[in-house]
Structure 1
Amino acid sequence: LTNPTEVYTAATLAKLAKAKASNTTVMIKDSSDIFSTSFYPNKASLTWKFKCVNARDIAWAASKAFMWDAAKIDLQSGKKCLAQSVYPIESKGNNAWGRSTEYVKHSIELSSRWYEYTYPVATNVAGIVGGMEYPGIVFCGYNATKGGLWGVTNHEFGHNWFPMIVGSNERKYAWMDEGFNTFINDFDTDDFNEGEYADKQNVQRIAKAMFNPNADAIMNTPDVIQNNYLGFAAYNKPALGLHILRDQILGADRFDYAFKTYIKRWAFKHPTPFDFFRTMENVGGEDLSWFFREWFMTDWKLDQGIKEVTYVSGDVKNGALITIENLEEMALPVVLAIKEENGKTDTVKLPAEVWQRGNKWTFKYKSTSKLVNVTIDPNAEFPDINTGNNSWTGINPKPIPAGTTAAAVIDNYIKAIGGSENIIAISDISIVSIGTIQGVEVQSILKQKMPNKLFQEISVPAMNIVPMKLVMNGDSISMQQNGQPTPIPATAKEGLLASMQIFPEINLATKTLTLAPMLEAVGDALAYVITITPATGGKITAYYDEKTGLKLKDVATTGSTEYSNYKTVNGVKIPYTKKADMGGQLIEYKVKEAKINSGLTDADFK
């Protein structure tokens, strides 16, 4: 704004001056000022005049109903600029737009680690769009709150680097602005307010969706990429590619220097993908053509697996020989976690070059005892489409002890989680869990009232949607998906009813128990395997730890679930971490709140 004294009163200018020197948000126009006749100078008309240098586009917003607050932005060079937000009364509050300017300030300061923000003002406007970016000004949804508002604010302002500063052709190569922006957003979110909204992504969970049979190569232009894949092609896959290049191939120091150089070289110019590729290779000091080809120009997939583990000359003392396989076209580095019988743990990192001579590689590991477990990608940082072959266990299945019965295993489980008296005393239980699916936070609410009422709801709070709701009353069961009733085939009802029970081991009188003759390995433990079949049909296969008695896993018609991190609630142990595979979609839930005998009523099951 070049003429502030012509359009604002002395009082408003004083507030602005205070905001320009403040690290915390200063209110410029409060709700009480909206209806004031003295907020603006008493003139017949007012004209605002703006100037923005190096702007490839412009946008503006005007409303008498806007509230307005602002704060100072500190840049690394010592330069100061202004963060400000305008929004309606309906959007105010610390869970909503009352924190917008805080989000703007930190978004700009954090993203400036790559290249200093170039505009004098950063304005966030509460609008009717989900999010849209322009130089120095963005529009975000007026109803966005908490992490959702942080995410969209950070993303839209990230566009001031891509494509406002680095002027790539966003219509032809959307991934050069959306993907690069998504990448830098991840760092901002990790750092903002000590990770207030940070959530480490499990890349394995999104691999099957990202590399589905209908996937297109990123380098295709958007008009020929299938609509349902545009999100992956423009945002998620290029961002993940940069993370892999930084974390697994170049390392943080070389990558960061090369990426900053790319931005500096191409600031206010118009690079093509090949300008980016050449800069990263030139400055990174390494031939990366193999990676750029497979990640950006093909639809190749990744499937790394462990083929076998043996010992040199058959003797543990001589060290282990670990053979890994690359079962798809994509070649990437390999990270393995190794655990030995004596408790020693280790991590081995192998470069992508191990695949230069074929799809199998054997290396010697200087073990000091028998290997118990070897796992590829233990931190789930690679998009492996088949994690079923990522682990090898040295724990061999063995026959169950003579005389062991299914009833005895169930009794041991009941004792392990708190005993039959505490279990029988449960009249109701409710569990609220938080998980992520394809990078989006989801909330699960599960309630059960004995003997036959159950409620489950899966929601996405940031988007205010409910993808799934299920209610069970006795033999009656109903389901909604995205608010629409969903018919449940009669053949699926029993399996669904069985799998939804929080404690399917209760009331076993009407159920058939079948104990497998062999103990099976589940992670680092051996487990009893019992198939629980209700008289009405449907079944669950459950795995109980041989030593602790706790349930480690169950498999039902709707998918499989792993249980860990048990904690006691009202005398009963409940798993606070669940990893579910629902039809190939992996999701990890962590319990936020668990209550037993809180007095649930029939009204809670509607």
Structure 2
Amino acid sequence: KNGWIYEVAQWYPRMEVYDDVLGWNTIPYLGSSEFYLDYGDFDYTITAPADLVVVGSGELVNPTEVYTPATIAKLAKAKASDATISIKDSSDIAGTSFYPKKANLTWHFNCKNARDIAWAASKAFIWDAAKINLPSGKKGLAQSVYPIESQGNNAWSRSTEYVKNCIELYSEQWFEYTYPVATNVAGIVGGMEYPGIVFCGSGSQKGGLWGVTNHEFGHNWFPMIVGSNERKYAWMDEGFNTFINDVDTKVFNKGEYNEPVNARGQTRGMFNPTADPIMNTPDVIQNNYLGYAAYNKPALGLHILRNNILGVDRFDYAFKTYIKRWAFKHPTPWDFFRTMENVGGEDLSWFFREWFMTDWKLDQSIKEVKYVSGDVTKGALITIENLEEMALPVTISIKEENGKTDTIKLPVEIWQRSNKWTFKYKSTSKLVNVTIDPKLEYPDVNVGNNIWTGIAAKAVPAGVTANSVIDAYVKAIGGADKIKAIKDISITSVGSVQGTEVISVVKQKGNDKFYQEISVPAANIIPLKAIVNGDSLSMQQMGQNTPLPASAKEGLIANFQVFPEANLGTTTLALAPMLESVGDAMAYVVTVTLTSGNKISRYYDEKSGLKIKEVTATGATEFSNYQEVSGLKIPYSKKTEVAGQAIEYKVKEAKINSGLTDADFK
């Protein structure tokens, strides 16, 4: 309300990169991939009205020409303070004393050894700052500029704290920050990085603001310091940055916003039938998979390499060496691979091949548990299998009847000669549980074979059929008549990923109009928008249209319907012969096969009849906390994933027969 916010980037002429591997970088910009830039020293000036606050990449070299003595004194105080110091507050916006008495001013910036520069300006900016402490003893300045609408202790009033901490943590852990100033700008840009300055959404709050600030400043290491070719290898930029973001968030303020990496929750999306190898260039990776290929899968690969293969100490030393060796240079993937092997001290070619160059899947299984000579005191023989192409080390937790627990770690070399391995465990009593990957660190595509229990599996009782399970569900939620009375339904749900709010809107009218939208307000992005309106189909992913064949309609409707059990059409149903556990519940599993051949497995609580889980080729969703709306029970809690991130939605509003019109499906 106090003036425009100008965020200016991609404006300074840039030299085309010539490297010693590919020569001139002539790959065109087609939209899906970012930049490949060389380093240089930037000296630039911006002339603008005197009542604007102007910030930019690098260091302001003429502060006495553009600031009043009072402002310079406040900046000096901030440069010596670990606490955030206000430079310009809300009272300064309306007044005139903050600004020099001139019509225009020229701000002069210098940014050394950088690959690009950006700047921002506004009369509406509130401005605060604090000292950055670097490992070498040098000091820097963390600062934030934002409109009055963004201030608050749950919002941008903590931005400078976030900037200071992420810069200090990255500098201590990996490589010292190389610019004198780190500036966070609140505006319409949801999240974008430049040397020494980042643009983040003005509506970001709490963990969402920490997450986007931490991510965008993480880019000052990848690709600002380590200058990889983003045109070809998005994962060396976004993936490495996502990884260090996770490490940083775990430490910041004793884990204030930490959410453990959920490998299991990303599995179906990360290894879906249309998955591309990470090494593909971004321009040819499918739009709906680019988030996995550039961000999630490479980041998860580094977590596995750190926690399960090399160990934290060896990984961190090797990764720091990679950054040091390739700072302000242009590494290829093979430079990264060779450095990690050279410094880590072992051959990792098997891992780099399967994780980065293929679409191989992982399926570790417990095949059998038996006792030596049938005597538990002589030990247990545990046989495990590797049922897919990908091989990884194995972690197994064991629980005995007498309460004893143990964890066994087996190296990846057990799979060198065979996909089957048997080892002896010194049991002292009967084993009651054996679990592969108990901490859910791996993206195993079949979790059903990861657990062995000493309890006999429970068979489906005689007389129970797929149709009777569906009928019990329909009755449990309110009955067929209530469902038939639905003319339209809309559900708005709210969740968060690393503190960033995500909103899901689902609408349905009759059996031929469906609408789904997933949005991230703080970043001003809509990851997904899909509409079925009669025979018309449309889908946008990250703002880009995704062409859909007519055959996709059935699958979209199956996924979007609030009560798909009431409209099964020509699908076929199959009931699994055994019940499966979902949390503490036992569930009937009904697999629906669409006419396209695609399958959806739905899990129904044995006792309540309610649906508690659904699994498709692209992900798994869990349902709970059923509440009544107009006589029908709807799950008010839904755990699923968005762009590879586990998320739990809570229903904010649910309406039945509210009078949706055709205009709601455009």
Q: Which residue of 2 aligns with 1:116?
A: 176
CA displacement at 1:353 relative to structure 2: 0.9
Q: Is the Cα–Cα contact under 8 Å of residues 305 and 324 in structure 1 kept in the other structure?
A: yes
- From 61, 67, 74, give the equivalent of 2:132: 74
Aligned to 1:155: 215
CA RMSD of aligned residues (A): 5.6
Tell me which of 328, 344, 347 is aligned to 2:407: 347
Q: CA deviation at 1:550?
A: 9.1
**Offset, 1:9:** 0.6
Contact 2:614 2:622 in 1 (8 A): no
C-alpha distance in structure 2 between counterparts of 1:182 and 1:498, whole Å = 29
Distance apart, 1:277 and its partner CA? 2.4
Q: 1:341 to 1:16 in 2, by over 3 A?
A: same
Deviation for aligned residue 1:243? 0.8
**Any residues of structure 2 matched to 1:271-350 within 5 Å, and which?**
271-284=331-344, 286-295=345-354, 297-306=356-365, 308-313=367-372, 315-317=374-376, 318-350=378-410
Q: Structure 1, residues 57-101: CA drift from partner, whole Å, max 9, x if none? A: 342425342414232233253432111122344544445433332
AA aligned opposite 1:25 = T
Task: Work out whether residues 216 and 225 of structure 1, in 8 Å CA contact, stay in contact via their aligned partners in 2.
Answer: no
Q: Is the 8 A contact 2:249 2:258 kept in 1?
A: yes
- Report if the CA contact (8 A) 1:554-1:560 is conserved: no
Q: How does 1:492-571 map to 2 (within 5 A)?
A: 520-522=579-581, 553=612
Q: How many residues are matched?
A: 583
Using the TM superposition, give the Cα deviation of residue 41 of structure 1 relative to its aligned residue in structure 2, in angstroms.
2.2
Q: Which amino acid aligns with 1:112?
A: S
CA distance in 2, matches of 1:128, 1:431: 24
| Residue aligning to 2:79 | 20
Residues of 1 paired with 2:385 and 2:360: CA distance?
A: 14
2:208 & 2:365 partners in 1: Cα distance? Answer: 39
Q: Deviation per CA, 1:466-494, whole angstroms, max 9, x where unpaired? A: 95899xxxxxxxx998799xxxx9xx99x
1:219-266 per-position Cα deviation (integer Å, ceiling 9, x unaligned): x4x366425244333322222211111010011111112212222233
- CA deviations 1:397-446 (Å, max 9, x no partner) are 4578999999xx99x99xxx9xxxxxxxxxxxx99674769x98645689
Q: 1:420 is matched with which residue?
A: none
Q: Give 1:59's aligned amino acid.
A: I
What corresponds to 1:377 in structure 2?
437
Q: Secondary structure at the match of 1:70?
A: strand
The TM-score normalised by the length of structure 2 is: 0.67
Which has the larger displacement, 192-201 or 157-166?
192-201
Of 60, 63, 67, the match for 1:8: 67
Normalising by structure 1, report the TM-score: 0.73
Larger displacement relative to structure 2 (97-106 or 31-40): 31-40
Matches within 5 A, 1:471-510: none
The answer to whether the 8 A contact 1:566-1:576 is kept is yes
Structure-1 residue corresponding to 2:481? none
CA distance in 1, matches of 2:159, 2:515: 33
Give ranges in structure 2 of 5+ residues lacking alignment: 1-59, 477-490, 508-513, 532-536, 566-574, 592-599
Is the contact between residue 366 and residue 450 of structure 2 (CA under 8 Å) also seen in structure 1? Answer: no
SS of residue in 1 equivalent to 2:369: strand
Structure 2 counterpart of 1:269: 329
Find the aligned partners of 1:270 and 1:530 in 2 and give their Cα distance. 52
Aligned-partner Cα distance in 2 for 1:315–1:116: 60
- Tell whether the 8 Å contact from 1:499 to 1:556 is kept in structure 2 after alignment: no
Using CA pairs under 8 Å that are at least 6 residues apart, name the structure with larger relative contact order, 1 or 2: 2
| Superimposed CA distance per residue, residues 257-302 of structure 1 (whole angstroms, 9 cap, x where no aligned partner) | 2212222233333433333223222322x32332453245521413
Measure the CA separation in 2 of the matches of 1:322 and 1:440. 43
User: For residues 135 and 586 of structure 1, what CA distance do their matches in structure 2 show?
Assistant: 28
Distance 1:209 1:397 in 2: 29
In 2: Cα distance, 1:158 partner to 1:111 partner: 8
Query: For residues 157 and 195 of structure 1, what CA distance do their matches in structure 2 show?
Result: 18
Contact 1:316 1:370 in 2 (8 A): no
Taking the TM superposition and a 5 Å limit, the aligned residue runs for 1:60-209 are 60-77=118-135, 78-114=137-173, 115-209=175-269
Q: Check the 8 A contact 1:83/1:104 in 2, yes or no.
A: yes
Alpha-carbon contact 1:542-1:551 (below 8 Å) kept: no
Cα deviation code 1:347-405 (max 9, x no counterpart): 32211111111211122223334434433223322122333433334432457899999
Partners of 2:615 and 2:67 in 1: CA distance: 66
**Residue equivalent to 1:391:** 451
Q: Aligned partner of 1:72: which letter?
A: A
Counterpart residue number, 1:250: 310
Aligned-pair CA distance for 1:153? 2.0
Work out whether residues 75 and 116 of structure 1, in 8 Å CA contact, stay in contact via their aligned partners in 2.
no
Provide the C-alpha distance between the structure 2 equivalents of 1:8 and 1:201, rounded to a whole number of angstroms. 45
C-alpha contact 2:134 2:177 (8 A) present in aligned 1: no
Partners of 2:414 and 2:384 in 1: CA distance: 10
Amino acid at match of 2:123: A
> Is contact 1:127-1:142 (8 Å) kept?
yes
% identical equivalent positions: 57
